[in-house]
Structure 1
Amino acid sequence: LRVYDLAFKPDGTQLIVAAGIRVMVYDTSDGTLIQPLKGHKDTVYCVAYAKDGKRFASGSADKSVIIWTSKLEGILKYTHNDSIQCVAYNPITHQLASCSSGDFDCYIVHLYCCLLH
């Protein structure tokens, strides 16, 4: 599998990897695969963890961004008009920015209390 991006959980216990059409979650203490996450229909290009470690996001060539919980559940999915090239969490707030390749649109998603747990 081709790896496009990876990110450590802020506490260092997990590593998420954008590999093929999946997001792979690894335990950093021994390198074991915890779970491959299914949800994207095309190549996953980018991943990012929120500073508090309670969620992370993945962006794909399928034009979608998925926000995942620390329990590895997809809780929110939204789309752009083109392939997602980057995702980044604001280190101060609970905002997620995502950008696509075909246009210069950047979306900022506000995550409210119901998504934080």
Structure 2
Amino acid sequence: MRYILPLCLFLSGCSSGWVDAPAPPSAVQPVGPPSQEALQKGIGSSVKEARLTQPVEISALRRTDHGPGDYFVCLREAAPVPGRPHYTFSVFFNNDVYEGSRQSVLFEECEQQQYSRLN
């Protein structure tokens, strides 16, 4: 019983009105599509990572709400090597930053896209 009063005083210090001023909200920078130069560099990095043979084809740049970036293109070999699977990759970007690539998944609909050759 004799510890209740000091305990109450100790705990009431946690609920005092002394509160630090809140930090100002951080300015959120909107994410935009990559420039043509950044797109070329990112695709080049992805081709090396996936060990694809040139020439390659890409789809149009599209926005996404999943993956490591907010924008992506689908990437595949223009002339697949016989005896090796023909994989399609998704290459992700935020602004001019290449965020990575992965094998594309079904809901990215890379199979239905129109492709153009990238030299």
Higher relative contact order (CA 8 A, sep 6+): 2
Query: Which one has a larger percent strand, Structure 1 or Structure 2?
Result: 1
Give me the TM-score of the superposition, normalised by structure 1: 0.35
Query: Which one has a larger percent helix, Structure 1 or Structure 2?
Result: 2
- In our comparison, the structure showing a higher alpha carbon Rg is 2
